[in-house]
């Protein structure tokens, strides 16, 4: 309308944990009356990177994960690192533990891609091993399935989410996987007594890019 100053938008942004970013734009008149409200929902692409390490197998080990939420343009909206270890474990258990802890860090149902470098972990989900184990009472042939406690926990942790598995080659040029390896071996060395407990984790390099 001639002579009437057009309302200027004021923007309030609310970002959830991992999965969705919401922008709320509220148009207000110069005297403060709200004209309209609408929400633009931007889906974030969520990645879970995981790795395990063990010395001796069995022996002291460590696990690590990185959760990355990316905007549609590929930029990182959010990133979370987690890591830990045990004094007596196996490499396979640490691989499973890394993925499990990453899933447990999600606070709501999420669509994500999990990137381990472990064939043992990936194949159980992509090759149908888990279904066979469950239908046979958690037996592989006549023997009990190893690491059943972690497999059961992983199945439960995945249930609320929509997951795609994409194995990556370990110790190559994939930055998030290499970062997980650094954190997992750091934890392994702490639990092996090679590094004093409480030693800060290695500094993070530039925000990792996707594979």
Give the catalytic positions in this structure. Answer: 51-52, 95, 117, 171, 181
Residues 6+ apart with CB under 8 A from 38: 24, 25
Spell out the alpha helix ranges (H) of 47-90.
none
DSSP classification of residue 196: -
Instruction: For the sheet with 8-15, list strands across it.
Output: 8-15, 20-28, 34-43
Whether residue 175 contacts residue 205, with contact meaning beta carbons closer than 8 Å, is answered with yes
Scan for tokens 């001639």, then name that residue.
2
Q: Are strands 162-165 and 111-115 parallel, antiparallel or unpaired?
A: parallel
Residues 6+ apart with CB under 8 A from 32: none
φ/ψ (deg, to 5) at 177: -65, -40
């Amino acid at each position: 309308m001639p002579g009437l100053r057009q309302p200027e938008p004021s923007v309030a942004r609310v970002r959830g944990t991992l999965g969705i970013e919401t922008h709320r734009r509220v148009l207000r008149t110069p005297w403060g009356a709200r004209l309209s409200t609408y929400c633009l929902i931007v889906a974030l692409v969520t990645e879970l990177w995981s790795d395990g390490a063990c010395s001796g197998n069995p022996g002291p080990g460590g696990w690590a994960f990185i959760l990355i939420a990316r905007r549609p343009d590929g930029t990182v909206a959010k990133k979370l690192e987690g890591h830990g270890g045990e004094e007596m474990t196996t490499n396979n258990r640490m691989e499973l533990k890394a993925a499990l802890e990453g899933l447990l860090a999600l606070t709501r149902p999420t669509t994500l891609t999990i990137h381990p470098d472990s064939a043992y972990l990936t194949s159980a989900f992509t090759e149908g091993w888990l279904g066979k184990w469950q239908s046979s009472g958690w037996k592989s042939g006549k023997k009990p399935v190893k690491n059943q406690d972690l497999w059961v926990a992983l199945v439960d942790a995945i249930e609320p989410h929509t997951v795609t598995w994409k194995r990556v080659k370990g110790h190559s040029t994939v930055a998030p996987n290499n970062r997980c390896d650094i954190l997992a071996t750091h934890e392994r060395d702490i639990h092996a007594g090679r590094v004093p407990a409480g030693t800060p984790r290695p500094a993070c390099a530039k925000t990792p890019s996707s594979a």
